Amino acid sequence: MDLGYRPNAIGRSLAEGRTRMLACLAPNLTDFTFASIIEGAEAEARRHGYFLVASSAPDEANFAILVDRLVSSRRTEGILVINPFIDGRRKYFLPEFPMVLIGSPSDDSQVGSVSLDNTQAGYLATNHLLSLGHRRIACISGPQIEDCVVDRMTGYKMALLEAGLQICPAYMGRGDWSASSAYAVVTQWLAEKLPFTAIFSQNDTMAIGAIRAMRAVGIRIPQDISVIGIDDMPLSSYFDPPLTTIRQDTYAIGQEAARNLVQVIENLTASKVHQRMPVELVIRQSTQAI
């Protein structure tokens, strides 16, 4: 006789001595890139029968507290860490506990990672501008403490050197990922009359700030200056002009990270995986031949 019984997932997990819960720690939960990564990770975790909870760890101190509570309470079976090298939080990585880093390669073979191929992203963006005849290419970077910034700058320099060009520090400005920081950098360059013909911005948001600063003084994009970014944010194709950019599939990065973490938890991999996700050049109307 059918009594209408349905298996209870929570009860089954408790009987197994497991929570089937994963945690994802990010510097914040509002950034589009982080939110898209978390969405992909949550979908992949659910596909494998796990639940995923996300929490904001804006600084090293909060990160340390969260890791301690999650591990000591045994409430989670594994942790995803977004932007793992933004500060000193690496001191709290636990090689003995299932953990996967997102957004930066790991130099610790005991902790797996999934990241964008940031060197290739910087190289591809710069090489696109070179292919259009640009030789005075300025670069606006993110915070220097982040590994992805260093890697994107490495790609930028590689492309210039392959083209037989010298690396000029005056053409390298530092932003903080915000539009306002890029606006300030470009305003200073214009005041100094720096003779650039193109800008490689290390993210789309700063690219928009750069464009705004140039338009404020009558510079046309791309007729006078070409601009390329990285991310391919959902609104990038609706900017004026539509932004040429390097696409990173943040949703897929989250999926891969969650899949790798589940494999570590279930002992399906003998060693931790270090995976670099591919990039793609998306040509729109913010770049043109010089």
Is 248 within 8 Å of 282 (Cβ atoms)? Answer: no
Give, in words, the CATH class of 9-116+249-278: alpha beta
pLDDT over 60 at 98, yes or no: yes
Listed residue (63, 65, 50) closest to 20, CA to CA: 50
The yes-or-no answer to whether 9-116+249-278 and 118-248 have a common fold is yes
pLDDT over 70 at 277, yes or no: yes
pLDDT of residue 269: 63
Domain boundaries, the chain: 9-116+249-278, 118-248
pLDDT of residue 10: 47
Listed residue (118, 88, 84, 76) closest to 100, CA to CA: 84
What are residue 141's DSSP bridge partners?
174
pLDDT over 60 at 6, yes or no: no
User: For residue 231, is it left (φ>0), alpha (ψ between -120 and 50) or beta?
Assistant: left
Burial of residue 177, with CB atoms counted within 10 A of its CB: 0-12 exposed, 13-18 middle, 19 or more buried: buried
What is the pTM for the complete model shown?
0.88
Contacts of 59 (CB under 8 A, 6+ apart): 87
Q: Residue 100: phi, psi to the nearest 5? A: -130, 135
Mean per-residue pLDDT, 246-267:
95
> pLDDT tens digits for 126-141?
999 999 999 999 999 9
The CATH code of domain 118-248 reads 3.40.50.2300
pLDDT over 70 at 108, yes or no: no
Mean per-residue pLDDT, 236-242:
96
